[in-house]
Amino acid sequence: MKKSRLGVGLLSAALLAFGSIAPAQAAGTLTIWVNSGDEAAYKAASADWAAKNGVTLNILAKCGLGDCGLSKLGPAGAGPDLFVATHDNTGSLVKSGVVTSLSTVINKAAYPAAAVEGVSFNFGTWGIPISISNIALATNLSLVPAGAPKDWATLESTATKLISSGKADVGVVTHIDGYFMQPFFESIGGYVFPNKNGKYTSVSSNGIYSSKLAKNANLMDKWLAAKLFDKANTYDASNFTNGKAPFAIVGPWSIDGLDKAGVKYEISGVPSLNGGYARAFSGVSAMYLNRFSKNKFLAKQFLTEVVQTKNFSKAITASNSSYPANLEAATTVDKNSVAGKFGAYGAICLPMPNVAEMNSVWTYWNGAFADWASGKSKFGDAMKTASKNLNTSLGN
Amino acid sequence: MRFSLFSRRNLLFALTGIFSSVLALAGFSLLADSSWFLGIFFIVSALLTIRIYWAKSNIHAKYIFPGVALLVLFHIYPAIYSGQVAFTNDSNGHQLSKSQAIDAILEDSRIPVESQSPVKYQLATRISDGEIFAIFRFPGLNLVAGNSNQMMLIGGSQTVINSDGLVKSAKGFKILQPNEYTLHAEQIQSLEVRLGSSQVLIPDDFDYLTLYRPGRTYSEARDEILDIATGVAYHPNQNGQMANSSGEVLYPGWKANVGFRNFTSIISNEEVRRPLLAVVAWTFINAFLIVTLSFLMGLVLALIFNFPALRSKRIYRTIFITPLAIPSVLSILVWAGLFQTSNGVINRLFHSEIPWLTDATWARIAIVLVEIWISFPYMFLITTGAIQAIPGEILEAASIDGASHYKSFRLIKLPLVIRTVAPLLVASSAMALNNFGVIYLLTGGGPSLANSNGNAGATDILISYTYKLAFNSQEGNNYGLASALSILNFIMVGLMSIYGLRRIKTMEGVN
């Protein structure tokens, strides 16, 4: 009897001890999830604000592609206060009901209209743009001393000459999927959803097998046969860095690798068959507010006083070689730098559609590219099937 | 008996006491989080721990209890959970509860009234019940205290106003200072002050209220959302969404029970069914090839390295077992590099251009090769053991009777080995049917199957296809359907294993 009393005593002592160390919700704490690799830059850029306002910032590298898991974690109460995602997730996040409108927070004049459009959906604006990134064409200057091709004919003839003389194995190193092939796809007349000056007008029809594309589809088959694209579809960057491919489709994320490999390159837009540059998709990396955050006002204050400033956009983009979304910060980027050249091409690029329907688009569209690259079907047939299946799936 | 503070029994009391209080604490915080099953489970475990380990009897329970508790926690609970998910529409856009979803629909339909500039407000708690109120002056109204439930005028002689126009004190209220706001942040951010049916004031930060016009209203009595501008009514549909009469739905939806829909869609939904047949076929072929080929390879090697005349057997055996010792996550990634088409070592070695990972047939061959490489050492070990366990007299007797090497292998060694390892082969088959790691790391299930539009790949087995449905963001995260498929997978593997074990029983009967 005595002994069990001792035990009971211990039990209550232990309960007390654990009760006192159980974490209490500290006032003035914000948890922010950012893309992995960016956390140091975010910490540095918001440290002053945090110190001045006595706010503890937990900046964690939890995001990458997609919606950061928020559609599952947010409602379960396991999400952060703020998180970073690319703008193409906007529609899906809004439809999942896990983000809060920032219409009254964003200063729209500080950003390019296309970027604001990208983070807007239905009645609201849902994200604060931070950086804009897009793919671009890299030209290997030791294989192509003339520099980046100004038109499609130059690109094609340069590549085919190098391949037939045995100097190069492939023309353009690229993933064969919708995102990476978009400039070529647009070049021959394809489009995902109809748009006017970068603003999408409808999602009830698609141009994956547009009449113009149907006419030009055999060009893609010809280019694949001529090894302009590598049908292995493994994005072998070493082909470009070892001088076995004159061109590559690269993003800001590739730049570190290219510099480390010591290859001499030039960044430019992807020339279009119709003259000028064909439009790649641009992605806006933006910060969103979790609907289930318990600190919405503090989070909004952080968005207004830190994230929307010129210096913040500049600091983040400088660290991950993307292009600032903030217009004022963008004017400070050197036009001849790599980031400047990405930005110059990005300015004419097409914002990636942000509607939830994109989930289905990627499935069918990427599937069609994969079928084509692996030789299962001709380009036109693959796109025809994808377009038809997409329409069925979206109930058009 | 002398009392000793550090006796074994007191130590037991202390440790189990601490352990069960941690469990109970976890249980209560889970309950507070409305995780009922886990919360109750932890609390019951805490009580049982004390009941069992503080008593002098209960010897059996002392040994059985930890195993049973862990079995419930890590096997039975997940099984029940995914079984339950299989009957819901758990997927992107259906993650909220119904009330959360309706709140979200109403909130997202609000439109700011731009003609009205934001209204400065202060915060106060009502002294009688601690409720939070916003205190503000709205054009056309005098000083008002309001929250989501009520609104009252508070002007008059009882209210003291500072020279800057802010309220210093009001009767019945305690005015909050800005440094106290964060303590009440959650209540403050859910404040809304209704001004009639068509206007609502919402705080956008700790200083200002913004005037909004609600776009939609919800009537709880009729369970109906009404669009104010168009007058269209929306009612809950079968799929956990608010829908109007022409089938247009509002987002977000909520998690709802959909009965057997996920199971029937495996058959009725062409997008799921079409790739499924190919995937199931490959699941079985893959498992069969891995188990038979790696068993044969293990057996042959075991026979060779049991040959008495062979020297340094130990060294060879050690070498053969290394694949088992290397973490397969690493070795599979190395294999993926070796199999690369243009720069891979294998193609360079043979001066070939085999599209190992991008052509359906070659990718399947590559998968089987790597899986054999990973699993033959295990087969080698168990068959070596089984061969060495065969009593020497039997083989001696056979050779005296004039049996050839081949005959003594076929008629004596092989039956005895198979009898020993058969249960292990059944277990290996069950594992091979669920062999997610190799598929995921080597090919990711690819290359995509023709006519499946990237939904399923040539090397996808059922479990990796299920994974893609559940977590591949391109598929829109359909957890409900994925759970239904994993139940199908469980039934398949279960039936296979039962059949296999039955066969072993008959075999043992014969012997």
Q: Could you state, in order of their start, the residue ranges of all structural domains in chain B?
A: 8-85, 98-250, 266-510
Q: How much is the average pLDDT of B137-157?
A: 81
Reported as a single tens digit per residue, the pLDDT across B322-368 is 888 888 889 999 998 898 876 788 888 888 878 888 788 899 999 99
The token duo for B505 is 């029983």
- In terms of domains, do A203 and A296 share one? no
Q: Label the pairing between strands A195-196 and A29-35.
A: unpaired
Q: Tell me the sheet residues that pair with A82.
A: A32, A289
- pLDDT at residue A23 in the model: 40
CB burial string A92-118: b at 16+ within 10 A, e below: bbbbbbbbbbbbbbbeeebbbebbbbb
Taking CA atoms, what residue in A is nearest to B185? Answer: A295
CA-based nearest distance A186→chain B, Å: 21
According to DSSP, the β-strands at B119-126 and B111-112 are unpaired
| A94, B95 contact by CB (below 8 A) | no
The nearest CA of chain B is from the CA of A66 a distance in Å of: 7
C-alpha closest to that of B509 among B422, B425, B407, B395: B422
**In a shared domain, residues A312 and A389:** no
Considering chain A, what is the average pLDDT of its residues?
A: 87
Using the structure block, give the residue that is written with the tokens 């708690």.
B125
In the predicted model, what is the mean pLDDT of chain B? 86
The sign of the dihedral angle between the CA atoms of A247, A248, A252, A258 is: negative
Which pLDDT belongs to residue B46? 93
Q: Is A391 exposed, middle or buried (0-12, 13-18, 19+ CB in 10 A)?
A: middle
The average pLDDT across B27-35 equals: 88
Q: Which CATH superfamily is domain B266-510 in?
A: MetI-like (1.10.3720.10)
Contacts of residue A67, defined as CB under 8 A and 6 or more positions apart, other chains included, come to: A85, A89, A92, A93, A96, B473
Asked if B95's CB is within 8 angstroms of A367's CB, the reply is: no
Question: How close B463 gets to chain A, by Cα (Å)?
Answer: 19
Q: Which amino acid is at A15?
A: L
Inter-chain contact A300–B204, Cβ cutoff 8 Å? yes
Q: Are residues A164 and A247 in the same domain?
A: yes
Residue to mutate among B2, B34, B189, with most A CBs inside 10 A, is B189
Torsion sign over Cα A65, A71, A73, A77: positive
Chain B residues touching residue A105 (CB < 8 angstroms): 204
User: Is there a single domain that holds both residue A383 and residue A271?
Assistant: yes
Task: Please compute Rg for chain A using Cα positions.
Answer: 25
CB–CB contact B185 A27 (8 Å)? yes
What is residue B14's three-state secondary structure?
Answer: helix
Beta pairing partners, B160 = B169
From chain B, the residues in CB contact with A371 under 8 A are 448, 450
Do A142 and A240 belong together in one domain? yes
pLDDT value at B124 more than 60: yes
Q: What are phi and psi of B307, to 5 degrees?
A: -65, 120
Same domain, A228 and A366: yes
Across A28-37, b (16+ Cβ under 10 Å) vs e yields: bebbbbbbee
A370 contact residues in B (CB cutoff 8 A): 446-448, 454
- Identify the bridge partners of residue B233 per DSSP, sorted by sequence position: B226
Residues A94 and A43 in one domain: yes
Of the candidates B201, B186, B194, B177, the one whose C-alpha atom is nearest the C-alpha of residue B124 is B177
The share of chain A scoring above pLDDT 90, in percent, equals 51
The ipTM assigned to this model is 0.73
Q: Do B93 and A122 touch (CB under 8 A)?
A: no
Instruction: List, for chain A, all residue ranges whose pLDDT scores fall below the cut of 50.
Output: 1-3, 5, 16, 19-27
pLDDT tens digit string along B231-254? 999 999 988 899 999 888 888 889
Q: Do A209 and A287 belong to one domain?
A: no
Long-range CB contacts for residues A116-120, cutoff 8 Å, separation at least 24: A117/A198, A117/A199, A117/A351, A118/A87, A118/A88, A118/A90, A118/A282, A118/A284, A118/A286, A118/A351, A118/A352, A118/A354, A119/A87, A119/A90, A119/A284, A119/A286, A119/A354, A120/A90, A120/A354
How does pLDDT run across B388-423, given as a tens digit for each residue? 888 888 888 888 888 888 888 888 888 888 888 888
| Cross-chain Cβ contact B454/A367 below 8 Å | yes
Q: Is residue A290 part of a domain?
A: yes
Task: List the beta bridge partners of residue A386.
Answer: none
* Structure confidence at residue B508 as a pLDDT band (50, 70, 90): low
A272 secondary structure, DSSP code: P
B149 Cβ contact partners less than 8 Å away, ≥ 6 residues apart: B131
Contact at CB, B93 and A4, closer than 8 angstroms: no
| Claim to verify: residue A150 and residue A247 sit in the same structural domain | yes
pLDDT of residue A159: 93
The Cα–Cα gap between B23 and B30 comes to 10
| Tally of structural domains, chain A | 2
Cβ separation of B13 and A234 shorter than 8 Å? Answer: no
- CATH code: domain of residue A237: 3.40.190.10
Q: Which residue of B has its CA nearest to A237?
A: B343
Q: What is the Cα–Cα distance from B218 to B225, expressed in whole angstroms?
A: 4
Whether B11 and chain A come into contact, CB under 8 Å, resolves to no
Q: Does B21 touch chain A (CB under 8 A)?
A: yes
CA neighbor of A269 nearest in space, from A187, A171, A346, A170:
A346
Q: Is residue A322 part of a domain?
A: yes
**Is A189 within the bounds of a domain?**
yes
Residue A345 sits in the same domain as residue A372: no
pLDDT band at B68 (very low <50, low <70, confident <90, very high): very high
Considering the domain architecture, whether residues A221 and A294 belong to the same structural domain is answered as no
Nearest to B447 among A15, A360, A370 (CB): A370
Tell me the residues of chain B between 419 and 478 that have a Cβ less than 8 Å away from chain A.
446-448, 450, 452-455, 473-477
**Beta strands A172-173; A247-250: pairing state:** parallel
pLDDT at B3 over 70: no
Question: How near does any CA of chain A get to the CA of B292, in Å?
Answer: 31
**Which range of residues forms the domain containing residue A320?**
29-133+283-351
B229 touches chain A (CB under 8 A): no
Length of chain A as a residue count: 396
Residues A270 and A287 both lie in one domain? no
